[in-house]
């Protein structure tokens, strides 16, 4: 099945994704082609970061549920879920495998799990993942850092706007009651 998706087997797709990332990191100069390759890889890395964060949330929730079942049944606690350095992402040319270094993937995955368990706030998760994105941006020699987790940033902004609106309404009600 993956052969059909990628025109190659899974192992080759993973190897190529890592080689492509490393090749872009080694590019020298600032020609239009080099900048385009860096930007294209930055977009792929942003997608990997986003997917890895979401996977950390999902697998973190599954692991928590499995742990609760294990406590109830007296079974041993399941092993912690592990992050991967690769994600299948959608591009305008179809699905491709994309890569970020495993250390960064593990960090983003763990941040997703912490956020899911409400051990860190959304704002803190954004800050921590941005630090990882900044490191990847440096590796890729990007002019501007990758900006990951746009979906979370938008959600937090909407939540803040809703909270501000609720506070304004509450203040108006208190003011009306005082009159």
Q: Which residues of the chain have pLDDT under 50?
A: 1-6
Over residues 82-126, the pLDDT tens digits come to: 999 999 999 888 999 999 999 999 999 999 999 999 999 999 999
Is residue 54 located within the same domain as residue 97?
Answer: yes
Is residue 158 located within the same domain as residue 101?
Answer: no
Domain that holds residue 162: 149-179
Is residue 18 located within the same domain as residue 96?
Answer: yes
Give residue for tokens 């009159």.
Answer: 179
Number of separate domains in the chain: 2
Please name which of 117, 28, 14, 25 lies closest in space to residue 67, comparing C-alpha atoms. 117
Is residue 103 located within the same domain as residue 158?
Answer: no
């Amino acid at each position: 099945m993956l052969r059909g998706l990628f025109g190659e087997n899974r192992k080759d797709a993973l190897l190529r994704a890592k080689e492509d990332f490393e090749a872009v990191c080694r590019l020298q100069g600032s020609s239009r082609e080099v900048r385009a390759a860096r930007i294209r890889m930055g977009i792929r890395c942003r997608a990997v970061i986003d997917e890895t964060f979401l996977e950390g949330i999902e697998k973190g929730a599954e692991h928590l549920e499995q742990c609760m079942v294990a406590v109830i049944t007296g079974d041993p606690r399941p092993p912690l879920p592990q992050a991967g350095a690769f994600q299948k992402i959608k591009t305008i040319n179809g699905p491709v495998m994309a890569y970020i270094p495993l250390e960064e993937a593990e960090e983003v995955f763990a941040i997703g799990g912490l956020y899911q368990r409400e051990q860190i706030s959304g704002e803190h998760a954004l800050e921590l993942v941005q630090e990882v994105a900044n490191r990847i941006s440096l590796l890729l020699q990007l002019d501007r850092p990758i900006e990951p987790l746009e979906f979370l940033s938008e959600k937090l902004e909407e939540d803040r706007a809703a909270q501000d609106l609720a506070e304004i309404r509450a203040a108006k009600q208190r003011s009306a009651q005082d009159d």
